[in-house]
Amino acid sequence: MVGSVTIEEVARIAGVSRSTVSRVVNGSPAVSPEASEAVRQAIESLNYVPNRAARSLASSRALAIAVIIPEDLHRFFGDPFFASTVSGINAAIAASEYVLTLAIASNDPDDKMIGYVRSGSIDGAIVVSHHANDTFVERIAAAVPVVYGGRPASGATDAYYVDIDNAQGARDAVEYLIGQGHRSIATITGPMTMAASVDRLEGYRQALAAARLRPGAVADGDFTAEGGAAAMRSILTGKQPDAVFVASDLMARGAIGVLQSAGLRVPEDIAVIGFDDSPVATGVAPMLTTMRQPSYEQGERMARVLLDVLEGGKPPHATIMPAELIVRESA
């Protein structure tokens, strides 16, 4: 009977009006407990499935949320961070009445994304991994409620976002290296168009300044394994450091490959510490010492903040989660 039962049949079995059934299905409190129970029993006995399109039309909501990732396909499928974060988002959305859509767009030259958002196809959006030059994201935020993964690159002070304490995580990583006796510490950063990259570089500098050590070489690795390899080669053209803080595990994997190809031992000649604690960390040899960021939990939290906003709640604008040092073999 699933899919063929009508709201009128539910009303007849429950002994109530069609509008009462509609109010119960849509969660309205304006129904007596007795009538609500009768409707719930009728729904269960008939296996009634509410018509989603009708509910959406009646409530003027699409009952859909988009995850928007302003990256290219290569980066999306190549970085485990995205899979973990989107899994967390999906887990929270699955427990709600909303469906989840995924949009991967490194730019929006033809305004397709903006048109989709403004068409009423979604009620809100979660933006993950955005850059300062992703200006189309700001127009999305002007059209529907948005929660950002990470501090907004635009600097908007009224935005909702869930972030990792990137600066403190970087400080902890570099302080660990200093505690291990390292004094010449280089760093491989992500792109400076991203707030996470800026914060991790700042944390690196703060830890060295607190220890009265001079900063080492700094190279941008673009948050990719290939970029990490290129950055490591660049660093090795100068004075060889005794340790490297790498702002992502993917970049650290690329850096370790270059060091080993150059005949250098990790960690005996150069210690390497990453950031993420993604599956990459245990898939390299030696296994990575790294800073664990709770990307799955971050995804769940972003979704819950957005759901709260969509239901009229007022959650905190900023939610900051800690990173945790995981010691393995590379440092």
Residues 6+ apart with CB under 8 A from 301: 88, 162, 319, 321
Q: Can you say whether residue 129 is alpha, beta or left, with left for phi > 0 and alpha for psi between -120 and 50 degrees?
A: left
Tell me which residue of 175, 171, 134, 167 sits closest to 152, measured CA to CA: 134
Q: What is the pLDDT of residue 263?
A: 95
Whether the per-residue pLDDT at 80 is higher than 90: the answer is no
* Pair of tokens at residue 278: 């993604």
Residue type, 16: V
SS3 content of the chain, % helix, strand, coil (to 5): 45, 15, 40
Residue entry with tokens 């010691």: 327
CB 287 within 8 A of CB 281: yes
Class of domain 7-59: mainly alpha
Question: pLDDT: is 43 or 188 the higher one?
Answer: 188
pLDDT band at 55 (very low <50, low <70, confident <90, very high): low
Q: How far apart are CA 123 and CA 246, in angstroms?
A: 38
Whether the per-residue pLDDT at 3 is higher than 60: the answer is no
Class of domain 166-293: alpha beta
Q: What is the phi/psi pair of residue 143, to 5°?
A: -100, -35
Whether the per-residue pLDDT at 1 is higher than 50: the answer is no
Question: pLDDT: is 289 or 136 the higher one?
Answer: 289
Residue type, 161: Y
- 64-165+296-322: CATH number: 3.40.50.2300
The domain limits of the chain are 7-59, 64-165+296-322, 166-293
- 277-325: per-residue pLDDT in tens? 999 999 999 999 999 999 999 999 999 999 988 888 888 899 999 999 9
- Domain 166-293 in the same topology as domain 64-165+296-322: yes
User: End-to-end alpha-carbon separation of the chain, Å?
Assistant: 62
Cis peptide upstream of residue 286 (ω within 30 degrees of 0)? yes
Lowest mean pLDDT, pick from 25-39, 44-58, 191-205, 279-293: 44-58
261 CB neighbour count, 10 Å cutoff: 11
Lowest mean pLDDT, pick from 26-30, 104-108, 119-123: 26-30
* Pair of tokens at residue 68: 């928007």
